[in-house]
Amino acid sequence: MAHLVYFSWVREKIGTPEERVSLPATVQNVADLLAFLRGRGEPYASLLADPHLRVAVNQSYAQPESAVTDADEIALFPPVSGG
Give the Cα separation of 31 and 63 in Å (integer).
8
pLDDT at 67: 98
pLDDT for residue 80 is more than 90: no
Whether 83 maps to a domain, the answer reads: no
42: domain CATH number is: 3.10.20.30
Which of 3-12, 45-54, 59-68 has the lowest average pLDDT?
A: 45-54
Q: What is the pTM of this model?
A: 0.91
Q: Label residue 7 exposed, middle or buried (CB < 10 Å: 0-12, 13-18, 19+).
A: middle
pLDDT band, residue 65 (cuts 50/70/90): very high
pLDDT for residue 83 is more than 60: no
Give the Cα separation of 77 and 57 in Å (integer).
12
> Would you say 73 and 5 are in contact if contact means Cβ atoms under 8 Å apart?
yes
Domain range for residue 46?
2-77
